[in-house]
Homo-oligomer: A and B are copies of this chain.
Amino acid sequence: MIYLTRREIFRAAHRMFRQDWSDEKNSEVYGKCSNPNWHGHNYILWVTIKGEPSENHGFVMNINILKEIILRKVINKLDHRNMNLDVDFMAGKIATTENLAIAVWNELTPDIEKAGAHLHCVKIEETENNYIEYYG
């Protein structure tokens, strides 16, 4: 079993808050991350797939196919966007990196399976000090 990882970056605005909470409650739980005027990050996404290298071409999966899936299903929707307002697969969810990683996993799985590989891990770094990993 071989694991192949592809890195992509997206720059997005977001805000952590719950609409059913008061501003005080949101500020108490999320601190400055709940600023009503938004803030943002250069998010770094690592997508890891696993499989056997093909005897035919020597790849687990052609990286250009993997890249195309990640761009189409995830990056094009998130890059230079507002995670709360602009992204269909985050609608109605609290914009934590935890929820984002799960949503990205769900977006990517069908196309990666269709391409004959298996999704192993979605890792998202929000800042150089914090990151989330999800293994399904």
Contact = CB atoms under 8 A, between A and B. Distances in A.
Q: Is the interface of A mostly helix, strand, loop or mixed?
A: mixed
A127 B63 CA distance: 12
B135 A39 contact: no
Tell me how many chains of this kind the complex includes.
6
A7 B57 contact: no
Contact of A33 (B3, B37, B80, B101): B80
Interface string A106-136: 0000000000000000000001111111110
Interface string A58-78: 111011100000000000000
B134 A2 contact: yes
A7 B130 contact: yes
B16 A39 contact: no
The 8 closest A-B pairs by CB, nearest first: A40-B40, A58-B94, A37-B82, A58-B96, A32-B80, A13-B38, A13-B13, A3-B133
Interface of A: 1-9, 11-14, 16, 18, 29-33, 35, 37-42, 48, 53, 57-60, 62-64, 79-82, 85-86, 93-96, 98-99, 101-102, 127-135
